[in-house]
A and B are shown apart, each in its own frame.
Chain A
Amino acid sequence: MTPTPQGFQTQNLTHRVPGRNLLEDLSVQIQPGVVTALIGRNGSGKSTLLKHLSGQLRPSNGTVHFQDRAIHDWPPRALARTLAYLPQTPPPAEGMQLTELVALGRYPWRGTLGRLGTADHAVIDDALRQCGIDHLRDRLVETLSGGERQRGWIAMMLAQQAQWLLLDEPISALDVAHQVEVLALVQRMCRDKGLSAVVVLHDVNMAARYCDQVIALGQGKLVLQGPISTLMTAEALARVYGLPMHVSHDGPQAFALPR
């Protein structure tokens, strides 16, 4: 694979905690313009890798480069204008209306003292519409359902106008209909607006349906990387999950079930 100056590149990335390595000698590239799935078993280092990509952690060893620049050399606000990150469990946004939550996405652009102008409000409105939560704008965030709240947080990321979205298990607490809604939204943003996304997922079938590329981890090491189709074989899935899986095809769409 050729190096990707517009995307991420990790070189021998290692994250040590007492007793073991959460990530070990990991060298991967992530391309722009597509949805990349991060998969692996529990404790395989998916979330840790995502936190390194968003610059929240310091590597014990190795480097993380984003757009040809070490991630920690980015000034915080410039990084936030380029890269949006959603944690696994978004915090309760106490006493905040949905619009106000989404408006926080303008912080990297306006700072502490700047006021929001018409352009900002247009961006916020657009983000709310994109996520289909325009009608909820005046509701308090804590009164929203899980799916609505999750889309609210994604709207905040869109209002950030970042080219890259990093999402840590964005669908794990949602029912199937909301899972589809959230992932379809991410896929649409990448297809139509040229955004790039890295999504930690547990469900291989959802990954196969909505993602273009895949990085699979096992015990902090790279198991496989490539187009999502390389994952959807019985042999590859067995390597990732250590479980015999049966893969069938419905047209172009592959799906897997434990055997």
Chain B
Amino acid sequence: MTRFLLPGAVLLSAALWLYATTTALPLAQWPFLRPVPLWHSETMDSAQILFAYGTLPRAVVAILAGAVLGLAGALMQAVLRNPLADPTTLGTAAGAQLALVAATIFAPGLLANGNAVVALSGAGLATGLVLALGAQRGFAPVTVTIAGMLIGLLASAIATAITLSQGHYLLSLVIWNGGALTQQDWVGVRHLAMVLIVALILAGLLARPLMVLSLGQAGARGLGLRTAPLRLATLTLAVLLSATVSAEVGLVGFVGLAAPAIVRRLGARSLLQRLLGAPVAGAVILSLCDNSLQAIAAAGGPDWPTGALTGLIGGPLLIWLLPGMRAQVPPGTEESDTSIRRTLTPARSLGLLTLALCAVFIAALFLGRGPTGWGVLAPELRETFLGLRATVLVAAVAAGALLATSGAVLQRLTANPMAAPEVLGVTGGAALGYAATVFALATPNALALAIGTSVGGALALAGLSAYALRTDMSPARILLAGLAIGALASAMLAAIMTADDPRAWLVLGWLAGSAAQVTPVGAAALAALAVAALIATVLMAGWLEILPLGQAVAAALGLPVGRVRLALIALAGLATGAATLLIGPVSFVGLMAPHIARSLGLVRPIPFVIGSWLLGAILMAIAAFGARSAAYPYDLPLGLFATLIGAPWLFVTLLRRRSA
């Protein structure tokens, strides 16, 4: 059966392409089927010009871009010995996208000579960051992938923020986010073909040393291979390939992941077979995706960008690949760090944190920027402003505490300090729910939005739980499944955004996180939820102590592991969903707060949970204050501000924890 998979896909793709093209231009009028003169635009009518300079190069670009991505994925997977590596999962593509968005806005001059250089530097920077993080864990596949997708998330968040701050004229970029393959001439074809040919030759040269590298670092050194230059050269080539595609056609996700996986499935054993087979598979995948979408559009359906479709395929693909990963993880590399300090006086630390929270809260309530500059809120203004400020602050503090609780639970549950609700996919699902509500109802009110968001979050959680129940639920893999769900959600969001609908801006605004519409009732409800979550978590502290010791030990101690994990995931999901409604899907508070708690030496479950809760609240209080004051008189989006505080801190800590 598998023998006919690839030829079948080629035939199907060709048929779809013919259908789409002949709908636009009947076969009889194809320019090159007629006698001379062939390619003179003077003799062609507009439909024929469109065919010769739009349709035809688009088909070739799909094939070439797919091949380039397939090769990039195969190279990355070979050099990192990680079957989950690909330009999407390593953050490469998102880095290129962010660089292009930033350059378009802040330094359009840089793009005068084409955008390849800008895309390349963004891609290289993001990949380098991910690998620097991964190096501390011996490049353990799942950890590297989690770091990569986190950085990808962050890059997209910042790109969204920039888009948002600039209004409509970036709509074309939003479309570009979705990876549209539309062409106006043959320049893109020439670029991609050149890059592909050179890269194939280089890949052929790299194949032998890469095969030696597959023995592992120590084994390769034993055979006299200098691993560092080889790794650097291969990764540079792969990043170059990915950046070229980003520059030419935009964000086309997961082709680099799918192509080598399919080639492996079809029986390519040797590395050379995989390096040569992956481009073929990639070309088939991308052109099949593109031709399907063209056929849909030709049949009168909506015109979606191709990248959105590959994104839709990517999430499920990742989940499908995960179970087979078991044997390929180097032992010990996915354990958490063991070198942590532990405070002897957790009660005192918690007391100080409580005081700090009160101080920050009061300061944020009364201090601020007004028409007359910085100062304490004047007494006569208090009646008007205190209530408003208090509402936003309470909501923000509660949301921060909820996210932090969720993060603390997830980090204990998975024994992985990279775990966070942002990674769980719940926020992505909630975002989809919000978007769906905005588009489904003519005038959505707050309650409808709340329900829609919660349902979206719950569905993402249900999908994750179904996956988790089916497999034996290794923690790191749950995280990756969560990330896959998140990727799926953002691909669908990208598709929604390209609809060029004013409602898309409503969703985009929410994605950056805004606390402006919070009502006092909503804030109070959120606060009650935060307190309830804290109590529930403290009651579950016994579980949180045993679970990091792993399934075998937990089961041997009589813990009903499956049910306990589900209960904790449900708690984390609910807390995240509620908080997400207010501050948008990305904030990194859920990742940061538990991290800080650990670095303060709050290691035991109960102090850890309470400390994380307090720190999450403090962080969001600061974010709320900053969002209100930084650009006075305008309110910046709350979630965005939290992200911008959180991201640099995150990288500094993660990079610092270098272990030998």
Residues of A in contact with B (beta carbons under 8 Å apart): 51, 54-56, 76-81, 83-87, 90-96, 100, 104-105, 107-108, 111-113, 140, 142, 160
Quick one: given A94-B548, A140-B342, are A80 and B540 in contact (CB under 8 Å)?
no
Q: Which of B505-551 contact A (CB under 8 A)?
A: 539-543, 545-546, 548-551
B503 on the A face (CB < 8 A)? no
Residue of B nearest to A81 (CB): B558
- Report if A76-B558 is in contact (Cβ < 8 Å); known contacts: A85-B552, A95-B340: yes
The A interface, classified by DSSP as helix, strand, loop or mixed, is mixed
Residues on the A chain within 8 Å of B550, using CB: 87, 91
Task: Check if B484 is an interface residue, CB within 8 A of chain A.
Answer: no
Residues in B with CB closer than 8 Å to A90 are 549, 553
Contact B553 A94 (CB under 8 A): no
**CB-contact partner of B557 in A56, A78, A104, A140, under 8 A:** A104
Q: Are A95 and B342 in touch, CB under 8 angstroms?
A: yes
Is there an interface contact between B342 and A112, defined as CB atoms closer than 8 Å? no
Cβ-defined contact, B549 with A56, below 8 A: no
Of A77, A86, A91, the residue contacting B558 (CB under 8 A) is: A77
Q: Are B539 and A113 in contact (CB under 8 A)?
A: yes
One digit per residue, 1 when the CB lies within 8 angstroms of any chain A CB and 0 when it does not, for chain B 329-367 equals 000000111111010000000000000000000000000
In the complex, what distance in Å separates the CA atom of A140 from the CA atom of B540? 23
Instruction: Tell me the bound Cα distance from A112 to B605 in angstroms.
Output: 12
Tell whether, in the assembled complex, residue A92 and residue B335 are in contact, meaning their CB atoms are under 8 Å apart: yes
A120, chain B: closest CB distance, angstroms: 13
Which chain A residues border B552 with CB–CB below 8 Å?
A: 51, 56, 85, 87
Can you name 15 A-B pairs with beta carbons within 8 Å? Answer: A51-B552, A56-B552, A76-B560, A78-B558, A80-B557, A84-B556, A87-B553, A94-B336, A95-B603, A100-B545, A107-B558, A108-B557, A112-B540, A112-B542, A140-B342
Number of interface residues of B (CB under 8 A): 29
Measured in the bound complex, the distance between the Cα atoms of B603 and A96 in whole Å is 8
Q: Chain B nearest CB: distance from A76 CB in Å?
A: 4
Cross-interface CB contact of A94 among B340, B555, B556, cutoff 8 Å: B340
Q: Are A105 and B542 touching (Cβ within 8 A)?
A: no
Hey, which chain B residues are within 8 Å of A51, CB to CB? 552
Residues of B within 8 A of A55 (CB): 555
Kindly report which residue of chain B lies nearest to residue A85, judged by CB atoms.
Answer: B556
Q: Contact at B335–A91, with CB atoms within 8 Å?
A: yes
Chain B residues with CB under 8 Å of chain A are 335-340, 342, 415, 539-543, 545-546, 548-553, 555-560, 603-604
Which of B548, B557, B559 has a CB less than 8 Å from the CB of A91?
A: B548
Quick one: given A91-B549, A93-B549, A95-B603, are A107 and B559 in contact (CB under 8 Å)? Answer: yes
Q: A104: which B residues are within 8 A, CB to CB?
A: 545-546, 549, 557
| A93 CA to B604 CA, complexed, in Å | 11
Residue of A nearest to B332 (CB): A89
> Which residues from chain A contact B560 at a C-beta distance below 8 Å?
76
B546 contacts A76, C-beta separation under 8 Å: no
Residue in chain A with minimal CB distance to B602: A95
Q: How far is the CA of A77 from the CA of B338 in the complex (A)?
A: 29
Contact indicator B338/A94 (Cβ below 8 Å): yes
Q: Which residue of A lies closest to B563 (CB)?
A: A76
Q: How far is the CA of A88 from the CA of B337 in the complex (A)?
A: 20
Please measure, in the bound complex, the distance between the C-alpha atom of A42 and the C-alpha atom of B603, giving whole angstroms. Answer: 38
Taken together as a complex, chains A and B put the C-alpha atoms of A79 and B560 apart, in Å, by 11
Q: How far is the CA of A93 from the CA of B542 in the complex (A)?
A: 14
* Contact in complex: A92, B546 (CB < 8 Å): no
Closest partner residue, chain A, to B548 (CB atom): A94
6 closest Cβ contacts across the A-B interface?
A80-B558, A95-B603, A77-B558, A85-B556, A112-B542, A108-B558
Minimum CB–CB distance from B81 to chain A (whole Å) comes to 22
Is A91 touching B603 in the complex (CB atoms < 8 A)? no
Task: Judge whether A91 and B555 touch: CB under 8 Å.
Answer: no
Report the Cα distance A112→B337, complex, angstroms: 26
Q: How far is the CB of B595 from chain A (nearest CB, A)?
A: 14
Q: Cα distance A105–B554 when bound, in Å?
A: 10
- Name the residue on A nearest B338 (C-beta): A142
Nearest CB in chain B: distance from A156 CB, A: 9
CA distance A94 to B604 in the complex (A): 9
